[in-house]
């Protein structure tokens, strides 16, 4: 593992920060390593319920690492009809190649399916945002109970419901793909509807960044350079290429029909990726995948 992780702190303040926001870093106290802590950009306006401090509620009664957490109000339930966010950024140019993992501990207490915690990322300085749930550009996202992942009424994927036990959450990205972007910005948003059930919201602690040549959890070593699954498929095809210790991306993906025509294509992508071909008729296709190392072609059967 490289020793570059301390440089995370250098590049975290981006020009999207506006007047009226405060910069909060290292909120976990002396027990958390400053070398991989993250600057939190917290909107201090009255309608934003995110606060940093010791939690003083029933479900949220203490920090994982005392004294402080970031939470949707340290002492009160979250209000109705509220949307509150905090953001932080990471500069991929400061890292090498491998996996970037954002790690935190959390507890949840929300009205299931109606109120939720949404996590998004932007690779274009905040012009567009993508939800991290069910996203092909996310290398791995795990540690939470699947029952706390749901779609809200507005269609957004979110954490929702109650989980009063500490969960270790890992949100991972392929650094080779990230290195092609100027920055990566994360936005954590809590949204509530018009019904007040005196829920406590979302509590987060020990928010840090990790950099590793290998993934942060055990993975089965892949023998073939590239594999796809499932095949046959009804819509999605998952692509996995063998992990490398240098720059490694998918440069192009092409879906080709039996006549040899390219009917769909994808550009630069992480080497762990998925595509959806479900809009095409049932048939035999060829999937041509080109990385910066080599290319391979797979015969694919689409059937529903």
Structure confidence by residue, pLDDT tens digits, 56-92: 999 999 999 888 899 999 999 999 999 999 998 887 7
Q: Does residue 22 register a pLDDT over 60?
A: no
CATH number belonging to domain 226-302: 2.60.40
**pTM of the shown model:** 0.88
Q: Does residue 182 register a pLDDT over 50?
A: yes
Place of tokens 């109000």: 73
CATH 2.60.40 positions along the chain are 226-302
Share of the chain above pLDDT 90, in %: 67
Q: Prior bond to 230 cis, omega within 30? A: yes
Sorted by sequence, the CB contacts under 8 Å of residue 57 that are 6+ apart come out as: 74, 75, 77, 200
Contact (Cβ atoms closer than 8 angstroms) between residue 228 and residue 237: yes
Q: Which residue has the higher pLDDT, 44 or 303?
A: 303
Residue 16 confidence (pLDDT): 40
Mean pLDDT is lowest, of 6-10, 16-20, 192-196, for 6-10
CATH 2.60.120.260 positions along the chain are 4-212
Q: Is the dihedral of CA 50, 51, 52, 53 positive or negative?
A: negative
Residue 179 confidence (pLDDT): 85
Spell out the alpha helix ranges (H) of the chain.
175-178
In angstroms, the CA 234 to CA 20 distance is: 49
Contact (Cβ atoms closer than 8 angstroms) between residue 211 and residue 96: yes
- What is the Cα gyration radius of the chain? 21
From the CB of residue 229, how many other CB atoms can be counted at a distance below 10 Å? 11
Q: Which residue has the higher pLDDT, 72 or 12?
A: 72
In angstroms, the CA 293 to CA 304 distance is: 33
Sorted by sequence, the CB contacts under 8 Å of residue 303 that are 6+ apart come out as: 232, 233, 234, 282
From the CB of residue 10, how many other CB atoms can be counted at a distance below 10 Å? 9
Nearest CA to 9 out of 40, 52, 51, 53 is that of 40
Sorted by sequence, the CB contacts under 8 Å of residue 272 that are 6+ apart come out as: 139, 140, 174, 239, 240, 241
The vertex-27 CA angle with 24 and 29, nearest 5°, equals 140
Place of tokens 């100027």: 182
- The DSSP symbol for 24 reads E
Q: Provide mean pLDDT across the span 144-166.
A: 96
In angstroms, the CA 147 to CA 134 distance is: 15
Q: Does residue 4 register a pLDDT over 50?
A: no
Mean pLDDT of the chain: 86
Nearest CA to 51 out of 31, 13, 77, 90 is that of 77
CATH number belonging to domain 4-212: 2.60.120.260
């Amino acid at each position: 593992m490289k020793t570059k992780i301390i440089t995370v702190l250098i590049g975290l303040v981006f020009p999207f920060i506006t007047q009226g926001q405060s910069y909060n870093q290292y909120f976990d106290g002396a027990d958390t390593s400053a070398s991989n802590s993250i600057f939190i950009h917290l909107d201090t306006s009255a309608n934003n319920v995110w606060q940093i401090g010791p939690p003083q509620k029933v479900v949220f009664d203490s920090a994982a690492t005392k004294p402080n957490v970031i939470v949707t109000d340290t002492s009160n339930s979250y209000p109705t009809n509220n949307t509150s966010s905090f953001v932080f950024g990471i500069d991929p140019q400061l890292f090498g190649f491998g996996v970037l993992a954002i790690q935190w501990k959390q507890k949840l207490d929300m009205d299931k399916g109606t109120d939720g915690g949404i996590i998004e990322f932007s690779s274009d300085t905040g012009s567009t945002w993508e939800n991290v749930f069910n996203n092909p550009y996310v290398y791995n996202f795990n540690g939470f109970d699947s029952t706390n992942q749901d779609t809200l009424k507005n269609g957004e994927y979110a954490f929702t419901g109650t989980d009063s036990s500490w969960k270790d959450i890992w949100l991972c990205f392929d650094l080779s793909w990230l290195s092609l972007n100027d920055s990566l910005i994360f936005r954590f948003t809590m949204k509530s509807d018009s019904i007040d059930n005196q829920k406590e919201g979302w509590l987060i602690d020990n928010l840090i960044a990790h950099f590793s040549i290998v993934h942060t959890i055990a993975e089965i070593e892949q023998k073939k350079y590239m594999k796809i699954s499932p095949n046959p498929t009804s819509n999605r095809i998952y692509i996995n290429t063998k992990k490398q210790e240098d720059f490694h991306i998918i440069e192009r993906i092409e879906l080709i029909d039996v006549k040899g025509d390219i009917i769909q294509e994808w550009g630069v992508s992480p080497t762990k990726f998925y595509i959806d071909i479900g809009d095409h008729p049932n048939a035999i296709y060829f999937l041509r995948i080109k990385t910066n190392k080599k290319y391979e072609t797979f015969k694919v059967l689409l059937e529903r």
